[in-house]
Structure 1
Amino acid sequence: MVKKGRPDKRSKTRSQAAGGGGGALPSGELIGPFDRTLLYLAVFLTGAAIMMIEVLGTRILGPFYGVGLFVWSSLISVTLIALALGYYLGGIAADRAKRFQLSHGIALAALATALIPVFKTPVLLQTNALGVRAGAFTSALLLFSVPLTLLAMVGPRVIKLCTSRLESVGRSAGSVYAFSTVGSVLGTLVLGFFLLPMMGTRTILYGVSVGLLVLAAVLALYERARRNTLGLLVLPFVSLAIAGLLFFLGGDRLPSTPGFTTVYEAQSIYGRVRVVDESERQIRWLLSDSSTIGAIDLRTGEPEFPYLYILEALPRFHPRGRSALLIGLGAGQLPKLLGRYGIETDSIEIDPEVARAAKDYFGFNHPGRLILGDARYEVRRLRKKYDFIIHDCFSRGVVPAHLLSVEMLQDLRSLLNDGGILALNFYGYAEGPQALPAAAVAKTIEAVFPFHRVFVSSLQTELTDHVFFASTEPVEFKADKVDIAPSPLGKLMLDNLFRYEHKISSDQGFVITDDFNPLDSMQVRKAEIYRHQVLSDISADLLAR
């Protein structure tokens, strides 16, 4: 029973809970349709920004750590950590921090986003010593946790602002998270389908920052109108000025370091493609993120990768062959080597920027179709048959495992003429327990082709290219039926070819299928060693820029 003349404390508590608090709206004041629409727009746009920052993280970390399992796992983990922390802190701020407004949190998130390109290079270089796994996670944590946490704080505050009665808190919370999720979906689609193919990562990040600052400014004006306090406008508009200054001072420039000059750079939806000239050894490199996918000697124009000269020997195993399909264009050197023997090569390349770089900087201009698309999809569409199919779609640091299954090899076999040869390049360990992935590839080839031989590109290194020649007929060397001279380096490899032949026991390995394909997780050590090799060839400072 409540005594006359004394307020019911429980009624007072309910009134405070229903009225909002947190400083954005006077306690007990209901919000109208305009207020609710603006607040839902805020969670929609911040939800889009969260996913855009997460996906752009692959473009920040990829050129240095590669876009593989480690980077994706790190980014997803950091995003989830930031969301959990942001939801928790946002709830506390909504209840207790009366002076910290919605516009303040979004403005600070915008500033933190604009600072990502500024701190990217020093963070990547400082985390390099931690290795690819810890380094990728630490880099993601340092670069992305602050803006993501601040953006996640928006949801709890908006839930409180939109809740006028305790009975409607469930509907308010559901609506807020629904709008945020829809924003995340739209942000991901817009980024992947439109923005990334058209502009660079830095430009998009600054665009996200400016968009958030505009949202913060609109919310600040709204909050000022509700509270009639000029001080609410200071932080959003100061942040807008700082972000604008960062944008104009930090425009995209071709990165260069002593001994290395970047002559071309482009961003595609698949990664960052760069052409880099090395002055000391006179080598031109083609990079896709942190992988070297092509290299030529600038003095002679000849390819630098030895395995290509093993592939040049293909006509001596099938002298009548006149057509080839290349899966994975790289720098486009193989069609030139095979062209010496009158072989016309069609090529499948997933990244249009790689194809553009091959044409403009590596002299790729040979007859044959250039098909842009994912090999798994494009192979199923082909009706033409070939004498040779060269499967060379590996960037060595990251293996597209879906292109190594028995189902994929069966599709390739169906495109071979009678007596045709499949040549497959796989980069991995040749000996020891780490050689199981190469053995699995061999076992999978055996399941489709009754005959195969294996050649390695190096006898001295623990990691090497494994070049498989597989066919439905015996793979026999028929050099006496080819009277065309090989390239100079091709002759050197040809003279020593059988020294590089490698035996893989049929007792090892397993058949790779679409249903069971553990290659990614089996090659953790290989990815780390390969990255050290790339850093020894290419400046770490250049990769981090």
Structure 2
Amino acid sequence: MDQPTTNVFSYLWLYCTVFLTGAAVMVIELLGTRLIAPFYGTSLYVWASLISVTLIALAMGYFIGGHWADRAKKTGLSLIIALAGLLTLIIPWLTNPVLLATDSLGLRLGAFTSTLILFTPSLIMLGMVGPFAVKLVTSDLRGVGASTGSIYAVSTVGSVVGTLFLGFYLFPRIGSREIFIGVGLGLFLLAFAVTFYERKRTGVFSSTLPVAFLFLLGLGLLSAITIDRQSNNDESSYQTRFERESMYGWVRVIDNPALNLRLLTADASTIGAATLSHGENVLTYQKIVELIPSLSPNISRALLIGQGAGHMATRLQRHGIVTDTIEIDPAIAEAAKDYFDFVPSGKTIIGDARYEIRQLQGSYDLVILDIFTGGSEPVHLLTKETLMQIRALLSKQGLVALNFVSFLEEGSNIALASVGKTLLQVFPYQLVFISEPDSDFNDFIFLASNLPIEIEGGMLGVNQSNWLKNRLLNLDQHPGVVLTDNLNPLEHLQIRKSEHYRKMMTHSIGVEFFIR
């Protein structure tokens, strides 16, 4: 019986090609969140949109690629890869108009539509590589199963390597736009390399000319994009003083001299605000937290989870309280130090709080949980299990202060009720304060402890005591659900909040500040 004539080594170039295009697929998918995160955040809906769009595009690519491979005579694999390179190069250029066009669709539909428009074209072309490669490597029907399996196995290994290379090495060092451009140019180089192997089947002229034309077109578009970005003078009253793309978000310090205001933002969330003239904190909810040492005069050691601009740690230091801070984003810690004059009084820990609090030892008299911003929320930090870990760090008379952004909805907000109900699962005593009593959309501060919490009888002055009493909220927690690691619907319950906050930020500062 005749054996299949396919020689694996003779098709080594083809396996290298599917390996590299498989890596490109995952790089584009993962980087997609970084392009749209400043506008739509990094919520579960954004990730779900991007994963769905990737699968849709690959399915279309497999289907179209299979039909193209059966019918193609003059066109080859190099053309497909070159088209993928061109479509990848223009993604950063298309981001601004696409995000603006989808702004009115809301968080979920807007995120899905923008990812569909931006990433589907290039991912379809990359999806076409697999079927085309199977066609080229299969010389005998008896070997079609092995050929197909090996092609898709190598492509998947490439995706794994691309994911690890991007996450562990590339992204911490290079911006997302630059990586997109690098991937696009890299695909063009791969396309030129493939023309060398295709020249016998399609001819040198037929294989090289289309790739060269697309490459020159891509370079022209890239030059036009660069000139357009350089000539785009921002006339907004807000000016960017610091900008850093990190593993966790797009961190900036933005000034408005007319308002005497400096903001620290991460993507589309404000995580710190101070006066330009004196550097004083202007966020009301933080002023409530700053009164805690007067409620409990015996506090000597505190832990701040979510350092932000560092204002609360600075205020606590004025009361002689040593405060350790946990901040996941090193870019935020850098901005706090350089632009908000934050000087830590205790340890500064850079890392995810859920992991870091397990490594801490000793007791704290106060733990402040300030990570629930107006944008995407790290819901894994507000579960019964997390709060039990925090309780283990507290001294006998210790307090937990938790800031939460939400609507009041006349006391019927399920997300707000769920926070209170979850806290009561761990701490028997609780007080809830509202930052701005006359507003429905608000910061809510929860104080929880193993002992009763009294507003009067401490070191508060009469005016301070009355100020706090006016913000005391009687919250009905019965509609809420207990948030756990197993079931935490908080992100779903906060959709309206996320959409409202994003619109509020883009309207007050300007849409252009949230588009890369």
Normalising by structure 2, we get a TM-score of: 0.94
Q: Kindly indicate whether the alpha-carbon contact (under 8 Å) linking 1:310 and 1:494 is maintained by their aligned counterparts in 2.
A: no
Taking the TM superposition and a 5 Å limit, the aligned residue runs for 1:265-280 are 265-280=243-258
| 1:533 is the counterpart of 2:504 | yes
| 1:366 is the counterpart of 2:341 | no
Q: Residue deviations 1:457-514, cap 9 Å, x none?
A: 012222211101111111113565469xxxxxxx986651110100112433222111
| 1:103 is the counterpart of 2:81 | no
Q: 2:239 pairs with 258, 261, 266, which one?
A: 261
| 1:397 is the counterpart of 2:375 | yes
Taking the TM superposition and a 5 Å limit, the aligned residue runs for 1:62-141 are 62-141=37-116
Q: Kindly indicate whether the alpha-carbon contact (under 8 Å) linking 2:324 and 2:346 is maintained by their aligned counterparts in 1.
A: yes
Code of the residue aligned with 1:58 in structure 2: it is T
The equivalent residue for 1:176 is 151
Q: Residue deviations 1:107-149, cap 9 Å, x none?
A: 0110111111111111111211222222211211111111000
| 1:421 is the counterpart of 2:421 | no
Taking the TM superposition and a 5 Å limit, the aligned residue runs for 1:501-516 are 501-516=472-487
Q: In structure 1, what is the Cα distance between the partners aligned to 2:280 and 2:120? A: 46
Q: 1:521 pairs with 486, 492, 497, which one?
A: 492
Q: How many pairs were matched up?
A: 511
Q: Residue deviations 1:374-423, cap 9 Å, x none?
A: 11110011002111100111222212111111111111111111211111
Change (3 A) 1:430 1:113: same
Change (3 A) 1:257 1:36: farther
**Stretch deviating more after TM superposition (433-442 or 338-347):** 433-442
Q: In structure 2, what is the Cα distance between the partners aligned to 1:479 and 1:171? A: 79
Code of the residue aligned with 1:44 in structure 2: it is F
Code of the residue aligned with 2:272 in structure 1: it is G
SS at match of 2:413: helix
Q: In structure 2, what is the Cα distance between the partners aligned to 1:288 and 1:115? A: 25
Distance apart, 1:335 and its partner CA: 0.8
The equivalent residue for 2:442 is 464
Q: Residue deviations 1:277-329, cap 9 Å, x none?
A: 12432321111111111111212311221100000011011101111100001
Normalising by structure 1, we get a TM-score of: 0.89
Taking the TM superposition and a 5 Å limit, the aligned residue runs for 1:371-386 are 371-386=349-364
Q: Kindly indicate whether the alpha-carbon contact (under 8 Å) linking 1:348 and 1:375 is maintained by their aligned counterparts in 2.
A: yes
Distance apart, 1:255 and its partner CA: 8.2
The equivalent residue for 1:26 is none
Distance apart, 1:250 and its partner CA: 4.7
The equivalent residue for 1:230 is 205
Gaps of 5+ in 2: none
Gaps of 5+ in 1: 1-17, 20-29, 484-490
Code of the residue aligned with 2:262 in structure 1: it is R
Distance apart, 1:242 and its partner CA: 4.2
Q: Kindly indicate whether the alpha-carbon contact (under 8 Å) linking 2:367 and 2:400 is maintained by their aligned counterparts in 1.
A: yes
State, as a whole percentage, how many aligned pairs show the same letter. 45
Code of the residue aligned with 2:314 in structure 1: it is K
Taking the TM superposition and a 5 Å limit, the aligned residue runs for 1:350-361 are 350-361=328-339
Q: Kindly indicate whether the alpha-carbon contact (under 8 Å) linking 2:417 and 2:480 is maintained by their aligned counterparts in 1.
A: yes
Distance apart, 1:360 and its partner CA: 1.1
**Stretch deviating more after TM superposition (221-230 or 259-268):** 221-230
SS at match of 1:414: helix
Change (3 A) 1:433 1:310: closer
SS at match of 1:286: strand
Distance apart, 1:257 and its partner CA: 4.5
Q: Kindly indicate whether the alpha-carbon contact (under 8 Å) linking 1:439 and 1:510 is maintained by their aligned counterparts in 2.
A: yes
Q: 2:11 pairs with 30, 36, 40, which one?
A: 36
Code of the residue aligned with 1:167 in structure 2: it is R
Q: In structure 2, what is the Cα distance between the partners aligned to 1:434 and 1:42? A: 57
Taking the TM superposition and a 5 Å limit, the aligned residue runs for 1:326-341 are 326-341=304-319
Distance apart, 1:428 and its partner CA: 1.3
Q: Kindly indicate whether the alpha-carbon contact (under 8 Å) linking 1:319 and 1:478 is maintained by their aligned counterparts in 2.
A: no
Q: Kindly indicate whether the alpha-carbon contact (under 8 Å) linking 2:368 and 2:400 is maintained by their aligned counterparts in 1.
A: yes
Change (3 A) 1:94 1:345: same
The equivalent residue for 2:417 is 439
**Stretch deviating more after TM superposition (229-238 or 100-109):** 229-238
Q: In structure 2, what is the Cα distance between the partners aligned to 1:334 and 1:174? A: 57
| 1:289 is the counterpart of 2:264 | no
**Stretch deviating more after TM superposition (423-432 or 349-358):** 423-432
